[in-house]
Homo-oligomer: A and B are copies of this chain.
Amino acid sequence: MLSDLQQEFMLHFGEMGSRWGINRTVGQIYAVLFLSENPLCADDLVARVGVSRSNVSMSLKELQGWNLVELRHKPGDRRDFFKTPDDMWQIVRTLVEERKKREIDPTLTKLRQLEMRQTPRDDAYAHARITEMRELIELLTGWYDEMNRLETERLVALLNMGARLQQFARKARLLPARKTKPEI
């Protein structure tokens, strides 16, 4: 049912799952869908991944919660078929968005809330530290929001620029000229 290539890819995603904050089955199901040219139904996944039907059902629910799979239907067939988006960039955007939502937003909210609080004098350091953290997170997420607004084509162009970015920023006087390194 799965080629060696597909099988090994699936097992890798299962193993990495715990590091990525999803469980093994979810990782494996995602991997199989990712490599499949055609949408698959739940029973296809049972056959390919080798876990119970109910586990597949719950895992698909979780993947839908992450917006990582799309639902498809075939005429005259009431089963749900699933596929991953064709566009890798779409997948990356979704992943970053969802991780931000789960891993960063709750903390940002908490930091703001703690900062509001009346702070006793002797907590000044902790308070300052929390502010520092909040400000840095806001800078990074704000910048991420900007990047996210770019269409993929332009974003790729920007990323491909890579090292050259600094030079251009300097030329455009967005950054100070490079300090000359002291000779040894």
Contact = CB atoms under 8 A, between A and B. Distances in A.
Query: What number of copies of this chain does the assembly contain?
Result: 2
Interface in A136-159: 136, 139-140, 142-143, 146, 149-150, 154, 156-159
Interface in A99-139: 102-103, 106-107, 110, 114, 117, 119-120, 122-123, 125-127, 129-130, 132-133, 136, 139
Interface stretch (A1-9, A46-54, A58-66): A1-9
Interface of A: 3-6, 8-9, 12, 16, 18-21, 34-37, 88-89, 92, 102-103, 106-107, 110, 114, 117, 119-120, 122-123, 125-127, 129-130, 132-133, 136, 139-140, 142-143, 146, 149-150, 154, 156-166, 168-169, 171-172, 174-175
Interface of A: prevailing SS: helix
A110 to B, nearest CB: 5
A83 B162 CA distance: 34
B158 A146 contact: no
